[in-house]
Structure 1
Amino acid sequence: MTTPIMSVTDIGKHFGGLVALKGITADFREGQITAIIGPNGAGKSTFFNILSGALKPSTGTLKFRGTDMAGVAQHDYVHRGIARSYQITNIFPNLSVLENVRVAAQAFRSRFNIWTDRGTLHDVEERAQRTLVSVGLSAKSDTLAKFLAHGQQRALEIAISLVAEPALLLLDEPTAGMGPEETREMVTLIEKLAAERTILLVEHKMKMILGLSDRVLVLHHGQLLADGTPKEIQANAEVRRVYLGQNDGYA
């Protein structure tokens, strides 16, 4: 088998006397959509923050394409090929859609020196426009971000993550606050994006997860309860007991 794009070995995290994660080991293969699920308080957010570099593990190792990420600062993850969107929409509401993405493209291109003369960054505009096409927002390029519908704002945030052309995209509850129609549109977008990159996501909408994902990790009390295909997870009696029976809706 090929080397996984990301692997974690015996990952643990504690905050003082609170053990948030304990002994999680998993490999993430290229080209897959992997969902991380679990009841409230299961450790999903902590685990996701470790995967994205926002937190360092207390124990264990995280490798990306075979390289140990222990000494890598969070802001350098994007330059290694890892990008993340957040549960709470993180955009500039008073900038246009294009300007939001162009600022991100310029920051990435110039190693976070956003004051570099735009005229010297000839590929920035093209990259921003290309990214908007990829998320279906090219027709909204001149619209102020604050006037977009909620689902479009989430797509814009994903576009901001995509300007780095990541090999691994982490999505934190990408359908949070969406109704059924916007959720379906986001699922279509995620499927499109997955054709060119590996995707990890945290989500609560079980029907969506089971229909979208190639693989599902289930956390419970900070430990890995199950790891398998959607069918295997659905058939797992312990998973059904602690989680699936509580949350089986699309929206």
Structure 2
Amino acid sequence: MTEAMLQIRDLAKSFGGVEAMRGVSLDFPAGSLTAIIGPNGAGKTTFFNLISGAIRPDAGSVKLDGEELVGLSSLQVVRRGMTRAFQVASIFPDMTMEQSLVAAVTAHRGELFSMLRRAPLPEAQARAGEIMDLLGLTPRAKALSRNLSHGEQKLLDIGLALALDPKVLLLDEPTAGMGAEERWRMIEKVHALWEGTDLTVIFIEHDMDIVFQIAQSIDVLSYGQVLAKGTPEEIKRNQDVIDAYLGQDHHHVATEGA
């Protein structure tokens, strides 16, 4: 059995007496591609906030490659090897795509002085090129970030996360705000990225067609607890998930197409 790259045990968090996360325990094997799904208010974003160090849990353990992360800042978590791309692209609007990635690589490697140089370090330039190639962004290398399409900006945001050399990549609704065709192009890029690296990728997604198409495994949250976990086929047929989230219509369509 593949060893867990990310191991969550008994994670709990309350806000003003409201239990947002209640004893969540999950394993994410090294090199896996996992979707986190659930109804609005299920705790998906809170889960990401807790494991990435954005907020501190009231109880529980988060281990990355065997190292405890609870108590570390979000920057320290990044340094240990877990990065996050958000729903809203966090880009450098007045820099080109290539410049943005070079700056991110340089800053992550602690080479702040070299950021002031007229010419970037060859190593940073090479890594930025690798990331653009992975994401299919090389033709847009010289485009200003602010002039990129919405989908390209989201890919750049993923690229900035990759510039931090993660072991685990968290994607918070990578297809948010996109039309149907653009959503599929984005998720194909994410899948190709996963296939082309040894990254452990965890993504939050509301489009169930996308989830069932590409996820290796699915974890379902509901009211801050793990409702179910399994393969796409197992989740499609899980009655608790159907009742809480998927609905009978989606289950019928999924079964017809199976």
Which interval holds the TM-score relative to the shorter structure? Answer: over 0.9
Matched residue type, 1:206: M
Pair 1:23–1:70, CA change in 2 (3 A):
same
Q: 1:211 aligns with which of 199, 213, 219?
A: 213
Using a 3 Å threshold, how does the CA distance of structure 1 residues 247 and 160 change in structure 2: closer, same or farther?
A: farther
Identity %: 39
Contact 2:103 2:115 in 1 (8 A): no
Name the residue aligned to 1:58.
58
Q: Which amino acid aligns with 2:100?
A: N
Mapped partners of 1:204, 1:236: distance in 2: 17
Contact 1:103 1:114 in 2 (8 A): no
What secondary structure, in the 3-state scheme, does the structure 1 residue paired with 2:210 have? helix
Tell me, in whole angstroms, the C-alpha distance in 1 between the residues paired with 2:154 and 2:33: 18
Deviation at 1:246? 8.2
Residue matched to 1:101: 101
Spell out, residue by residue over 1:39-89, the C-alpha distance to the aligned partner (whole angstroms, 9 max, x if none): 001111100111222122111111011111123221022221211100111
> 2:6–2:63: 8 Å Cα contact kept in structure 1?
yes
Whether the 8 Å contact between 1:98 and 1:141 is mirrored in structure 2 is yes
Instruction: Please tell me the residue identity of whatever aligns with 2:145.
Output: A
| 2:53–2:70 contact (8 Å) kept in structure 1 | no
TM superposition outliers: structure 1 runs of 4+ over 3 Å: 113-122, 246-249
Secondary structure in structure 2 of the residue aligned to 1:95: coil
Change (3 A) 1:120 1:238: closer
Q: Decide whether the 8 Å contact of 2:37 with 2:204 is kept in 1.
A: yes
Residue of structure 2 equivalent to 1:44:
44
Cα distance between partner residues in 1 of 2:249 and 2:73: 36
Matched residues in 2 for 1:69 and 1:145: separation? 33
In 2, Cα distance between equivalents of 1:67 and 1:133: 31
TM value normalised by structure 2: 0.91
Q: Name the CA distance, whole Å, in 1 between partners of 2:124 and 2:249.
A: 43
CA distance in 1, matches of 2:57, 2:159: 28
CA RMSD in angstroms, aligned pairs only: 1.9
Q: SS where residue 123 of structure 1 aligns?
A: helix
Matched, 1:17 2:14: no
Within 5 Å, which residues of 2 pair with 1:97-246?
97-110=97-110, 113=112, 116-118=115-117, 121-195=121-195, 196=197, 197-245=199-247
Equivalent pair of 2:32/2:200 in contact (CA under 8 Å): yes
Q: Cα 1:117–1:95, aligned 2, differ >3 Å: closer, same or farther?
A: closer
How many residue pairs match? The answer is 248
User: For the structure 1 residues 65 and 35, does the alpha-carbon distance in structure 2 shift closer, same or farther, using more than 3 Å as the test?
Assistant: same
Partners of 2:139 and 2:108 in 1: CA distance: 24
| SS class of match (1:27) | strand
Asked whether the 8 Å contact 1:218–1:226 carries over to 2, the reply is yes
User: Structure 2 vs 1, CA of residues 208 and 120 (structure 1 numbering), >3 Å: closer, same or farther?
Assistant: closer
What secondary structure sits across from 1:242 in the alignment?
helix
Match of 2:4, SS?
A: coil
Q: Runs of 5+ in structure 2 lacking a partner?
A: 254-258
Following TM superposition, by how much is the alpha carbon of 1:193 offset from its aligned partner in structure 2, in angstroms? Answer: 1.4
TM-score, length basis structure 1: 0.93
Tell me how far apart the structure 2 counterparts of residues 87 and 234 of structure 1 sit (CA, whole Å): 26
Matched to 1:209, the amino acid is V
Shift of 1:160: 0.8
Q: Counterpart amino acid of 2:176?
A: A
